[in-house]
Amino acid sequence: MIRVEHIGIAVKDLETAVPLFEKLLNTSCYKTETVESEGVNTAFFQNGETKLELLEATKEESPIAKFVDKKGEGMHHIAFEVADIESEMKRLSSEGFILLNDKPKQGADNKLVCFLHPKGTRGVLIELCQERK
């Protein structure tokens, strides 16, 4: 676990959330990207070392749609950058954490990612991410 890479925030729609966060952070969204496999559109902001990822569902079965239905908009996950995602997955699994992915998968922003079940982390969804080289 190297550092917090970004914080993910679930929103109903990027169309109104992006201008709101641009106002809040006084910076422009630098990237939007669709992750088809997850059913999400993402929008990224960076202030110094701090990165935020807004997530909007693209379909009803999207985990983001379910999250927003159940809990409303808000904090969705904390992503930690790791140097070697496979070894970190092995370590966390052997420590008893529940991984939501058997293998690292392609995430937004050129990352390999894996999620940990919030049941095992006091309610916080954790994402591991490693920069794709």
Sign of the dihedral defined by the CA atoms of residues 72, 74, 75, 77, in that order: positive
Residue 44 or residue 97: which is nearer to Zn ion going by CB?
44
Contact range with Zn ion by CB under 5 A, out of 13-21, 56-64, 74-82, 96-104: 74-82
Give the distance from CA 77 to its chain's centroid.
6
The secondary structure of residue 113, as a DSSP letter, is E
**Residue nearest Zn ion (C-beta atom):** 8
Closest to 108 (Cα-Cα) out of 22, 14, 24 = 14
Site map (CB under 5 A) of Zn ion, residues 48-67, x = contact: -----x--------------
Angstrom distance (rounded) from CA 9 to CA 56: 9
Query: Of these, 9, 40, 79, 114, which contacts Zn ion (CB under 5 A)?
Result: 79
Q: Shortest approach of Zn ion to residue 71 CB, angstroms?
A: 17
